[in-house]
Amino acid sequence: MVKLLGATGAAGVASGCLSDGEASPNGEDGNGGNTEPQHGLEDPMSPDVDTIAADPTDVPDPVDWDEPRRHEIEMQTEEYIAEVEDGVTHRFMTFEGQVPGPMIRVREGDTIHLTFDVPDDLNEHLHNVDFHATYGPGGGAEHTTLLPGDGPAEIEFTVEYPGAHIYHCAPGNHDYHISTGMFGTILVEPEDGLPEVDREFYVGQHELYTNGDNGEEGHHEWDAESAQDENPTYVLFNGEAGRFTGENALHAEVGETVRLYWCNGGPNHVSNPHPIGNVFKRWYDHGDVVNEPMRWVEGSTLAAGMTGFGDMELPVPGPIHLVDHALTRVVQKDLLATIEVEGEPQPDIYNPDPDGAPDAGEGEAY
């Protein structure tokens, strides 16, 4: 497990792996009530890729056209061994080699011609893609289902309704494929577009169910029993524990307005998005871009299999920690990303040192 809290908060809660003999919060063994010792993982495998995590700054430019367009989109599935954290490997299934899959951005009324492939040199499993942004059987899944090497498949659809929608693999054992990375976002902008912002980020939350404990070194296989219990080993942004924290935190600047796309792949948990140290000036609940967004909400609920998004103002410097406010997922299951906001202090808004005390404002806890 990565260390998620500062020094004052870590000692009592940072051990999700119980191999050190600590009692778990529920008095059991942290393994969904299974009292059998859970060890004997195979050694970590050699990763195929440096990281499986998509770059949260890789967001397509806003729509700048005002007539319907046709988009040629090629998408393929790729399966890779990657590290969840140091010494913990897993075989991920992905769209385009990243978790979440690439964000697609179009305008209401546009047409997408999709060429979908499952190359046999990159895949062991059958895959397809279900776009929640279209009418049609399985959102396209029925006509994109391919065994490795049997493709490509082509479909074409018009995006008839706006919103931020998810796409995901739907092969039968949907939970397995989504859990290990096969989900992403398609943003269908309304005809009049969205408010301009200075910077955008895109993250994907998902639960990883494995046959090991959180932090247990070795190669973790996906585990159907812990999925049945909805008791994930990890809850992650982008497939990797703490990838966007510390020195790899995301960056923004005081005075900007930033938009955050939060794709909840699930496959099971409702998320409770919250930016610690900030608030959503506008929150597009469940990706609804037709109704007025919610205003000044510190979070919301976000169902599994949906993408919500929100805009934040950044009047003061400092970190903004992105969490699911079901905080055990943060403290014990590694869901965390940080936006470091840099710029001049604004003591009229937030003053960490009102009396000039030399130690005020120090400390790492949040």
The footprint of Cu ion (CB under 5 A) covers 127, 169, 171, 177, 182
| Residue 124 or 192 having the CB closest to Cu ion | 124
Shortest Cβ distance from residue 145 to Cu ion (Å)? 9
Across the beta sheet with 280-284, what order do the strands follow? 234-237, 199-208, 257-266, 306-313, 280-284, 294-297
Query: What is the distance, to the nearest Å, from the Cα of residue 148 to the centroid of all Cα atoms in its chain?
Result: 26
- In 133-158, which positions are buried (b, 16+ CB within 10 angstroms) versus exposed (e)? bbeeeebbbebbbbebeebebebebe
User: Is the Cβ of residue 15 or residue 185 nearer to Cu ion in the bound state?
Assistant: 185
What is the C-alpha separation between 204 and 103, in angstroms, rounded? Answer: 10
Amino acid symbol at 17: C
Tokens of 123: 């895949």
Residue (127 or 333) nearer to Cu ion, CB: 127
Q: How far is the CB of 170 from Cu ion (least distance, A)?
A: 8
Closest CB 310 distance from Cu ion, rounded Å: 29
Place of tokens 């895109």: 202
Residue 50 DSSP one-character state: S
Cβ at position 85, least distance to Cu ion in Å: 24
Question: Could you tell me the smallest distance in angstroms from the CB atom of residue 174 to Cu ion?
Answer: 8
| 262, 335 contact by CB (below 8 A) | no
Are the C-beta atoms of 44 and 81 separated by less than 8 Å?
A: no
CB of 122 vs Cu ion, minimal distance in Å: 12
Q: Which stretches of the chain are assigned E, i.e. beta strand?
A: 70-85, 88-95, 101-107, 111-117, 130-131, 153-158, 163-168, 183-189, 199-208, 218-220, 234-237, 250-253, 257-266, 273-276, 280-284, 294-297, 306-313, 318-324, 337-342
Evaluate the CA torsion angle 159, 163, 169, 172 in order and state its sign. negative
Give residue number: closest CB to Cu ion: 169
Closer to Cu ion by CB, 18 or 170: give it.
170
Closest approach of Cβ 274 to Cu ion, in Å?
Answer: 30
Least Å distance, CB 172 to Cu ion, is 9
- Nearer Cβ to Cu ion (32/266): 266
Q: Which is nearer to Cu ion, 250 or 304 (CB)?
A: 304
